[in-house]
């Protein structure tokens, strides 16, 4: 069977592109330590009261002699707890780790004006760590359709100077 030289060229180019795409994915998972959804912690979404999500909010932790903060957030129809009724308050230039889950349906957690964005999936705990470099307020929006009042699901993160950070609002 004779294959025209232009067809041979395009067949070979297709295989090279497929190999390149596979290599890119492998590189991402190996060199950049990317994770898939199954690599995250799981939780029973119907029994959040037995976990730190039962008392959501900001917690102070010490790691390697450094003060850091953990924020446990429940995304519920149609609010962030904390975040909607009261803003999430964290100090500037401090490492903050967010743990986010949902007891009801799929939600989004998008910090507007940043690249902080995750999905809140019932039964999964999403985790990301950041340092807010400046004092300001950030909006939080749900970017996954979660029901008829999805468009009003919003909240705030308030980044304050360390001298003004009120530790009395921390949860145990």
Among 53, 69, 73, 50, which Cα is nearest to 61's? Answer: 69
CA–CA distance, 57 with 144 (Å, rounded to integer): 22
- Write down the pTM of the prediction: 0.77
DSSP assignment letter at 19: H
Q: Residue 7 above 60 pLDDT?
A: yes
* Res 40 pLDDT > 70: no
Q: Check: CB of residue 117 under 8 Å from CB of residue 100.
A: no
pLDDT digits (tens, 9 = 90+) for 50-107: 899 999 999 999 988 899 999 999 999 999 999 999 999 999 999 999 999 999 999 9
User: Residue with structure tokens 């976990």?
Assistant: 51
Q: Cis bond leading into 68, ω under 30°?
A: no
Give the CATH number of domain 41-169: 2.60.40.420
Q: In terms of Cα–Cα distance, which of 78, 77, 123 is closest to 100?
A: 123
Domain coordinates in residue numbering, the chain: 1-34, 41-169
Give the pLDDT confidence of 136-147 residue by residue, as tens digits: 999 999 999 999
* Pair 124, 44: CB distance under 8 Å: no
């Amino acid at each position: 069977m004779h294959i025209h030289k232009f067809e041979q060229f395009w067949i070979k180019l297709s295989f090279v592109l497929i190999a390149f795409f596979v290599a890119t994915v492998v590189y991402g998972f190996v060199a950049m330590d990317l994770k898939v959804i199954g690599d995250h912690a799981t939780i029973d979404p119907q029994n959040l009261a037995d976990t730190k999500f039962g008392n959501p909010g900001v917690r102070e932790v010490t790691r390697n002699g450094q003060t850091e903060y953990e924020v446990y957030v429940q995304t519920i129809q149609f609010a962030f707890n904390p975040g909607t009724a009261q803003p999430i308050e964290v100090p500037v230039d401090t490492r903050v780790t967010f743990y986010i889950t949902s007891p009801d349906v799929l939600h989004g957690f998008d910090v507007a004006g940043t690249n902080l964005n995750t999905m809140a999936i019932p039964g999964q705990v999403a985790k990301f760590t950041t340092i807010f470099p400046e004092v300001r307020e950030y909006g939080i929006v749900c970017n996954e359709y979660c029901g008829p009042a999805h468009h009003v699901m919003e909240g705030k993160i308030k980044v304050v100077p360390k001298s003004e950070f009120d530790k009395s609002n921390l949860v145990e």
